């Protein structure tokens, strides 16, 4: 492909200005690059706008802290110079009262109150109460009016909450995602035990992914091996068994597992019929159900890469080892397995990466104890509308995915990923 | 490049056409409510008669009360929901944050016609609903009588259904722990009180089956997956109508209003008002209460309700006895914090 | 297959191994086989044994406004998302196959990354960015994001097809006087068509089964079939779900057959070429 196509074209040879062959070549090469680059460009632009930019914006949100600064810009400015020990100077009170009057009843004010309530429950009503008491009655100073509205405005601690959020960026959400927080003195400390779950959630996300991956490998390896060692006709039939579930909607499969695993479902009925159990087992809305369904959904992603690698391994290697006196199991382990290792690596990484981001299956088949990182992202987005927290958790999940994806592309080369997934 | 554009152009045109279709469709009133039997009852009592009398079409949608979509819509100034059924704390919070229009009662009906508590700055009550203790009369021979029994794993072994969320779950925990109904919110407002509620919940945590949608508890009860459950009284009543032997324990139920709210910036504000006024009429509220036994907010509507249904309403005097009114202000204040803590607790 | 000189232990292993594989196959197929019959159940429980035979759940699916709307929406969103993914992915794959430049591997990885980034992140991210510009709660927004999720499949399948593609054919066509457009439509496209179509099928499958992004991005008017199924499974699992599941499974079987046919056709074409 290295020969530029234009060389065969007559107009390139009869160029008007005499050019060296080298120049012509370079020019033709540039032209080709431009031409084909233009083919790639629309997709690049499309993905930048619809995929990369939104994700970048989301990641940025994890450090954004706009509420206080945009509702109280002047107060924020002044609070940044405050020593933080004694009650702030009158100027701060005046600016704050001014800005409350200016914004009260508006969404900007409500957003700031909500943001402060996040720091200290009860701050919302303090703000609403204060807003109702303003503007100061004639003759009263801003300080008097605020303290009159609520004595807490006299305490430096109250102002600390404002001061600590008087900058447009904060690490609070990211810290909270790893169970850390700022204490009243502004130091990073361990979060309270009743709020500290995210380290646990991420450990759970990775742990569950690892278990699902292990099961997929355990179940997928024999089948892939069988397929690879059968004549094409049989292998094709087996392939249909693998690919049909792969093509079936995830929701269909989740519904089917629900039907199979419920307390009156087929699995329990069969087990009871054979006298293996007397009482129906609890198989759904706990980890059992989630694992079964996840392994089922992700198994084809393990089998397909394994198969594509195994198909290329000649059975004569193992046969040779056996004929040279090496026991079959040992020959398999020493000769075949190392050759299949790229497939194992690719399959495991693919399953692990996909598993980490799962949301639907645990949401429908699990209890709160089986929910992975994605669930918490959705929770903060929809339920409490804490988009900073959703963004911070996303950032960590995204970083983990990115690292594994880089390893994966190094392993298999990004290009033929889906080709393998076929 | 040229072929890309030629390929894209028809798509762009088609998309534009689609958006246009979506745009014209929004001239109808989009009403979002909590789904299931509640929505079906609204369909019968409000949507169909509305279309019949005014000719205006209703686009019905459902959600589970999350305010994120509304917030995003309002901030984007691209509001496609015209009327939304909201629970009280979300309404109050949304009102403060500028998500809901301040209502002009003049466009809805005479103030005096409504239960005073049903009227708020940004909303008007649709009905009174209640969260009750429900159980399956076929599987549970001796009936539970209180939240205390709900926590009694010895006397009533088996799973319990509870709504996945802090609201009401924590109140019930405190009631079961012996806190008097009038002290519940005072206790819950303190750190020690919240700790106490979670500790009480710890006792039955491994026996709780969480539900999210109101349609779930009757199913869980009927299928025998749980022996008892917290449930919306209306959903249990509809299941009873379908022949299921489900029972309600009214002791210490918690009641609240669901209200109509209008998201700020809807292009169909006038139609939205028209719909709310229509749905607030006594005769329509009466039909609704007949479909699903939630108490009307229109006093005249209460008078119209079929005598046979009255004992099933949360507003019936015997059901109100010992009942707890959900404290909107408390949940506005502590909602985010406690929900977050609850979520963390549940996931452990 | 088993060698005549195999020891008894090897024989046992031979059959045990096949039994294990058989169980894995049963595990893979069981859910799909189990749900279809229940869609014909006469009563309203998703339980065996079935009480009788009835078409009423299909009737329910066809007559319920919510399901019909969901089906219509899926039929609007998925084809457009697929066409968009094909229109963007095919030329890009041709471009990437034809030129070398620094960072090409990186660019390719980025273009394929929508396949692996957790969908919840894509859902939240596009929701927060699309909402302020009025693209949330619209068909267009949904189509765009579904297309982005489908593009990697088109890109990779077309790239795979192009690996066996002889670009001398393009050169030959050009040297014989065909203009680039004619060359593309008469020479390149017929040869890469199987790749484009199977990529399109993958993109269609992705979109037609997509629920997470839809949960965030779609309003009630854009609720798709998977979105409706999600709500149904969570709230009220009735045989209607089984009926929809059966219809979807038949659809995916058709797609699978088409795909297999395409693969064979392209293999045949390629072997003829050489």
Of B8, B71, B334, nearest to A385 by CB-CB distance is: B71
- Residue pointed to by tokens 């929770």: A379
Whether residues C253 and A247 touch (CB distance < 8 A) is answered with yes
Of C24, C48, C226, nearest to A219 by CB-CB distance is: C24
Buried/exposed code over B117-134 (b: 16+ C-beta within 10 A; e: otherwise): ebbbebbbbbbbbbbbbb
Number of domains in chain B: 2
Q: What is the average pLDDT across A291-306? A: 94
Instruction: Say if residues A341 and A392 touch (Cβ distance below 8 Å).
Output: no
CA distance C50 to C43: 8
**Please, what CATH class does the domain formed by A198-421 belong to?**
mainly alpha
Question: Does B116 lie in the same domain as B265?
Answer: yes
Domain of residue B341 covers: 129-256+321-347
What's the whole-model pTM score? Answer: 0.87
**Which burial class, exposed, middle or buried, applies to A30 when counting CB atoms under 10 A from its CB (0-12, 13-18, 19+)?**
exposed
Task: Please list every residue in chain C whose beta carbon sits closer than 8 Å to the beta carbon of residue B211.
Answer: none
Question: Does B249 lie in the same domain as B196?
Answer: yes
Q: How confident is the model at residue A122, as a pLDDT?
A: 83
Q: How confident is the model at residue A2, as a pLDDT?
A: 41
User: What is the SS3 assignment for B263?
Assistant: strand
Q: Strand B160-163 to strand A188-190: parallel, antiparallel, or no bridges (unpaired)? A: unpaired
Ordered by start, the domain boundaries in chain A are 5-61, 66-170, 198-421
Count, residues in chain C: 274
DSSP for B214-251, written as a single string = TTHHHHHHHTTS-SEEEEEHHHHHHHHHTT--EEEEEE
CA distance B206 to B222: 21
CA distance A90 to C161: 74
For residue B223, being part of any structural domain is answered with yes
Q: Where are the beta strands (DSSP E) in B99-199?
A: 123-136, 160-163
Of A128, A194, A263, nearest to B345 by CB-CB distance is: A194
B12 interfacial to chain C (CB closer than 8 Å): no
- Neighbouring chains of A at 3+ CB pairs under 8 Å are B, C
Separation in Å, CA of C25 to nearest CA in chain A? 7
Read off the tokens for A408.
Answer: 């994966």
Task: Please list every residue in chain B whose beta carbon sits closer than 8 Å to the beta carbon of residue A286.
Answer: none
CA dist list (Å): A354 to A285, A351, A405, B216: 21, 5, 10, 30
**Which burial class, exposed, middle or buried, applies to B52 when counting CB atoms under 10 A from its CB (0-12, 13-18, 19+)?**
exposed
Question: Does B141 lie in the same domain as B287?
Answer: no
Question: Does B190 lie in the same domain as B330?
Answer: yes
Question: Does B225 lie in the same domain as B290?
Answer: no
Instruction: Say if residues B345 and A194 touch (Cβ distance below 8 Å).
Output: yes
Q: How confident is the model at residue B302, as a pLDDT?
A: 86
Q: How confident is the model at residue C220, as a pLDDT?
A: 77
The ipTM estimated for the assembled molecules is: 0.89
Separation in Å, CA of A17 to nearest CA in chain B? 29
Task: Please list every residue in chain B whose beta carbon sits closer than 8 Å to the beta carbon of residue C237.
Answer: 219
Q: How confident is the model at residue A193, as a pLDDT?
A: 81
Read off the tokens for B309.
Answer: 């249904």
Of B63, B72, B219, nearest to C127 by CB-CB distance is: B72
Count, residues in chain A: 422
C261 interfacial to chain A (CB closer than 8 Å): no
pLDDT (tens, 9 = 90+) of chain B, 348 residues, equals 333 334 444 444 444 444 444 444 446 899 999 887 888 899 999 999 999 998 888 988 888 888 888 888 888 788 889 999 999 999 998 998 889 999 999 999 898 899 888 999 999 999 999 999 999 988 888 889 999 999 999 999 989 999 999 999 999 999 999 999 999 999 999 999 999 999 999 999 999 999 988 888 988 888 788 899 999 999 999 888 888 889 999 999 999 999 999 999 999 999 999 999 999 999 999 999 999 999 999 988 888 888 888 889 998 889 988 899 999 989 988 888 899 899 999 988
Separation in Å, CA of A139 to nearest CA in chain C? 44
**Confidence category of residue A64, pLDDT binned at 50, 70, 90:** very high
Whether residues C47 and A264 touch (CB distance < 8 A) is answered with yes
CA distance A165 to A69: 8
Count of alpha carbons within 13 angstroms of residue A376, beta-carbon side: 34
Whether residues B343 and A376 touch (CB distance < 8 A) is answered with yes
A46 interfacial to chain C (CB closer than 8 Å): yes
CA distance C102 to A38: 16
Question: Does B179 lie in the same domain as B90?
Answer: no
Separation in Å, CA of A79 to nearest CA in chain C? 31
Can you list the domains of chain C with their CATH numbers?
65-273 (1.10.3720.10)
Of A283, A281, A293, which is closest to residue A212 (Cα–Cα)?
A: A293
pLDDT tops 70 at residue C3: no
Q: Is the dihedral of CA A415, A420, A421, B1 positive or negative?
A: positive
CA dist list (Å): B1 to A7, C188, C195: 23, 15, 20
Question: Does B38 lie in the same domain as B180?
Answer: no
Residue of A173, A228, A249, A336 to mutate, testing the C interface (most C Cβ within 10 Å of its Cβ): A249
pLDDT tops 50 at residue A415: no
Question: Does B16 lie in the same domain as B80?
Answer: yes
Nearest CA in chain B to A126: B333
Of A40, A47, A414, A405, which is closest to residue C156 (Cα–Cα)?
A: A414
For residue B86, being part of any structural domain is answered with yes
Whether residues A47 and C46 touch (CB distance < 8 A) is answered with no
**Confidence category of residue C213, pLDDT binned at 50, 70, 90:** very high
pLDDT tops 50 at residue A422: no
CA dist list (Å): C152 to B157, B274, C115: 52, 48, 6
Alpha-helical segments (H) within B47-190: 48-54, 68-76, 88-96, 147-150, 169-176, 184-188
Task: Please list every residue in chain B whose beta carbon sits closer than 8 Å to the beta carbon of residue C221.
Answer: 22, 25, 30, 59, 61, 80
Nearest CA in chain A to C112: A414
pLDDT in tens, A23-56: 888 998 888 888 888 999 999 999 999 999 999 9
Q: What is the average pLDDT across A273-297? A: 90
Tell me what the pLDDT averaged over chain A comes to.
87
pLDDT tops 60 at residue C22: yes
Cα-based angle C133, B89, A64 (whole degrees, multiple of 5): 40
Q: What is the average pLDDT across A347-362? A: 94
Question: Does B262 lie in the same domain as B249?
Answer: no
Whether residues B72 and C138 touch (CB distance < 8 A) is answered with no
Separation in Å, CA of A144 to nearest CA in chain C? 41
A354 interfacial to chain C (CB closer than 8 Å): yes
Of A95, A282, A81, which is closest to residue A163 (Cα–Cα)?
A: A81
For residue B178, being part of any structural domain is answered with yes
Instruction: Say if residues B96 and A128 touch (Cβ distance below 8 Å).
Output: yes
For chain A positions 288-327, those within 8 Å of chain C (CB to CB) are 296, 299-300
Read off the tokens for C110.
Answer: 């980025």
CA distance A353 to A120: 37
Whether residues B59 and C138 touch (CB distance < 8 A) is answered with no
B315 interfacial to chain C (CB closer than 8 Å): no
Q: What is the average pLDDT across A400-408? A: 93
User: What is the SS3 assignment for A319?
Assistant: helix
Q: What is the average pLDDT across A64-83? A: 91
Residue of C17, C83, C94, C95 to mutate, testing the A interface (most A Cβ within 10 Å of its Cβ): C95
- Residue pointed to by tokens 């554009």: B5
Alpha-helical segments (H) within B31-101: 36-42, 48-54, 68-76, 88-96
Q: How confident is the model at residue C272, as a pLDDT?
A: 61
For residue B316, being part of any structural domain is answered with no
Cα-based angle C68, C70, C71 (whole degrees, multiple of 5): 65
Q: Is the dihedral of CA B151, B152, B156, B158 positive or negative?
A: positive
Separation in Å, CA of A388 to nearest CA in chain B? 13
pLDDT tops 90 at residue C173: no
Question: Does B303 lie in the same domain as B327?
Answer: no
C124 interfacial to chain A (CB closer than 8 Å): yes
- Neighbouring chains of B at 3+ CB pairs under 8 Å are A, C
Nearest CA in chain C to B26: C221
Q: Strand B324-325 to strand B246-261: parallel, antiparallel, or no bridges (unpaired)? A: parallel
How many CB atoms are closer than 10 A to CB B317? Answer: 8
pLDDT tops 70 at residue C72: yes
Tell me what the pLDDT averaged over chain B comes to.
87
Instruction: Say if residues B298 and B282 touch (Cβ distance below 8 Å).
Output: yes
Whether residues B216 and C235 touch (CB distance < 8 A) is answered with yes
For residue B292, being part of any structural domain is answered with yes
CA distance A416 to B145: 64
**Confidence category of residue A8, pLDDT binned at 50, 70, 90:** very low
The H or E element spanning position B83 is strand B83-87
C101 interfacial to chain A (CB closer than 8 Å): yes
Whether residues C118 and A374 touch (CB distance < 8 A) is answered with yes
B130 interfacial to chain C (CB closer than 8 Å): no
Separation in Å, CA of C47 to nearest CA in chain B? 11
The H or E element spanning position C233 is helix C225-235
Cis peptide before A75 (omega within 30 of 0): no
Q: What is the average pLDDT across A147-162? A: 88
pLDDT tops 90 at residue A175: yes
Task: Please list every residue in chain C whose beta carbon sits closer than 8 Å to the beta carbon of residue B69.
Answer: 136-137, 219
Question: Does B279 lie in the same domain as B200?
Answer: no
Whether residues B15 and C136 touch (CB distance < 8 A) is answered with no
Of C25, C101, C111, nearest to A241 by CB-CB distance is: C25
Whether residues A359 and C120 touch (CB distance < 8 A) is answered with yes
CATH number of residue B8's parent domain: 3.40.190.10
B78 interfacial to chain C (CB closer than 8 Å): yes
């Amino acid at each position: 492909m290295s020969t530029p196509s234009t060389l065969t074209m007559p107009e390139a040879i009869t160029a008007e200005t005499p050019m060296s062959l080298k120049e012509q070549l370079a020019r033709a090469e540039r032209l080709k690059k431009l031409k084909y680059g233009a083919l790639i460009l629309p997709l690049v632009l499309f993905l930048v706008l619809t995929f990369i930019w939104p994700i970048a914006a989301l990641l940025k949100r994890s450090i954004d802290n706009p509420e206080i600064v945009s509702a109280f810009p002047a107060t924020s400015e002044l609070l940044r110079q405050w020593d933080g020990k004694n009650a702030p100077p009158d100027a701060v009170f005046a600016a704050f009262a001014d800005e409350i009057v200016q914004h009260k009843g508006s969404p900007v004010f409500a957003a700031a109150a909500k943001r402060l309530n996040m720091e200290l429950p009860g701050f919302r009503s303090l703000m609403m109460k204060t807003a109702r008491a303003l503007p100061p009655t004639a003759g009263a100073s801003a300080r008097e009016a605020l303290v009159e509205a609520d004595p807490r405005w006299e305490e430096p601690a109250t102002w600390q909450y404002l001061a600590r959020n008087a900058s447009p960026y904060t690490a609070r959400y990211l810290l909270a995602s790893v169970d850390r927080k700022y204490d009243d003195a502004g130091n990073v400390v361990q979060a309270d035990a009743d709020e500290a779950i995210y380290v646990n959630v991420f450990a759970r996300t990775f742990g569950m992914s690892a278990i699902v991956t292990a099961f997929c490998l355990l179940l997928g390896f024999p089948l892939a091996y069988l397929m690879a060692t059968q004549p094409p006709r049989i292998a094709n039939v087996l392939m249909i068994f693998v690919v049909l579930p792969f093509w079936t909607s995830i929701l269909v499969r989740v519904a089917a597992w629900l039907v199979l695993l419920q307390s009156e479902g087929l699995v329990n009925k069969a087990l009871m019929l054979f006298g293996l159990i007397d009482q129906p087992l609890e198989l759904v809305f706990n980890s059992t159900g989630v694992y079964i369904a996840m392994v089922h959904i992700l198994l084809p992603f393990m089998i397909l890469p394994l198969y594509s690698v195994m198909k290329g391994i000649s059975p004569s290697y193992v046969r040779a080892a056996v004929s040279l006196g090496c026991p079959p199991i040992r020959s398999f382990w020493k000769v075949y397995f190392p050759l299949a290792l790229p497939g194992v690596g690719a399959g495991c990484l693919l399953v692990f990466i996909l598993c980490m981001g799962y949301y639907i299956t645990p949401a429908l088949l699990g209890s709160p104890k089986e929910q992975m990182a994605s669930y918490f992202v959705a929770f903060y987005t929809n339920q409490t509308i804490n988009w900073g927290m959703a963004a911070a958790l996303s950032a960590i999940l995204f970083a983990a995915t990115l690292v594994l994806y880089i390893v994966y592309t190094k392993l298999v080369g990004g290009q033929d990923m889906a080709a393998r997934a076929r | 490049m040229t072929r890309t554009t030629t390929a894209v152009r028809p798509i762009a045109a088609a998309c534009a056409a689609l958006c246009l279709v979506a745009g014209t469709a929004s001239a109808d009133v989009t009403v979002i409510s909590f789904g299931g039997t509640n929505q079906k009852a609204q369909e019968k009592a409000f949507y169909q008669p509305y279309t019949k009398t005014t000719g205006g079409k209703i686009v019905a949608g459902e959600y589970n009360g999350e305010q994120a979509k509304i917030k995003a819509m309002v901030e984007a100034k691209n509001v496609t929901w015209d009327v939304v059924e909201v629970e009280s704390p979300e309404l109050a919070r949304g009102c403060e944050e500028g998500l809901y229009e301040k209502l002009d009662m003049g466009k809805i009906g005479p103030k005096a016609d409504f239960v005073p508590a049903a009227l708020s700055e940004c909303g008007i009550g649709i009905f009174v609903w209640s969260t009750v203790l429900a159980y399956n009369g076929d599987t549970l021979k001796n009936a539970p009588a209180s939240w205390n029994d709900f926590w009694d794993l010895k006397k009533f072994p088996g799973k319990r259904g509870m709504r996945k969320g802090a609201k009401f779950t924590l109140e019930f925990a405190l009631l079961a722990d012996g806190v008097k109904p009038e002290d519940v919110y005072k206790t819950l407002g303190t750190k020690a009180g919240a700790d106490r509620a979670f500790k009480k919940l710890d006792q039955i945590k491994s026996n709780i089956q969480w539900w999210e949608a109101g349609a779930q508890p009757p199913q869980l009860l009927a299928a025998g997956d749980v022996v008892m459950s917290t449930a919306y009284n209306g959903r249990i009543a509809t299941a009873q109508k379908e022949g299921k032997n489900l029972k309600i324990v009214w002791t210490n139920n918690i009641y609240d209003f669901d209200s109509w709210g209008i998201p700020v910036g809807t292009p169909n504000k006038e139609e939205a008002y028209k719909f709310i006024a229509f749905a607030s009429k006594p005769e329509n509220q009466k039909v609704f209460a007949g479909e699903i036994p939630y108490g009307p907010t229109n006093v005249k509507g209460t008078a119209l309700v079929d005598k046979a249904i009255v004992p099933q309403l949360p507003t019936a005097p015997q059901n109100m006895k010992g009942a707890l009114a959900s404290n909107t202000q408390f949940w506005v204040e502590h909602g985010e914090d406690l929900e977050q803590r609850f979520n963390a607790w549940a996931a452990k | 297959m088993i060698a005549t000189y195999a020891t008894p232990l090897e024989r046992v292993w031979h059959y045990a191994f096949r039994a294990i594989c058989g169980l894995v196959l049963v595990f893979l197929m069981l859910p799909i086989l189990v749900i279809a019959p229940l869609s014909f159940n006469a009563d309203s429980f998703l339980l065996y044994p079935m009480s009788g035979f009835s078409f009423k759940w299909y009737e329910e699916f066809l007559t319920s406004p919510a399901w019909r709307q969901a089906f219509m929406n899926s039929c609007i969103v998925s084809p457009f998302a697929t066409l968009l993914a094909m229109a963007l992915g095919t030329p890009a794959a041709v471009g990437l196959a034809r030129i070398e430049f620094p960072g090409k591997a990186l660019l390719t990885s980025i273009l394929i990354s929508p396949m692996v980034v957790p969908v919840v992140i894509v859902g939240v991210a596009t929701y927060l960015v699309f909402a302020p510009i009025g693209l949330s709660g619209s068909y267009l927004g949904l189509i765009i994001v579904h297309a982005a999720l489908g593009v990697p499949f088109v890109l990779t399948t077309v790239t795979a097809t192009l690996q066996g593609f002889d670009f001398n054919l393009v050169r030959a066509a050009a040297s014989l006087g065909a203009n680039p457009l004619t060359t593309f439509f008469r020479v390149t496209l017929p040869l890469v068509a199987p790749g484009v179509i199977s990529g399109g099928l993958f993109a269609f499958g992705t979109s037609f089964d997509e629920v997470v992004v839809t949960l965030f991005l779609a309003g009630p008017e854009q609720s798709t079939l998977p979105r409706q199924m999600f709500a149904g499974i969570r709230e009220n699992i009735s045989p209607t779900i089984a009926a929809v599941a059966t219809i979807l499974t038949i659809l995916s079987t058709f797609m699978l057959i088409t795909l297999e046919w395409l693969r064979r056709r392209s293999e045949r074409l390629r072997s003829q070429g050489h």
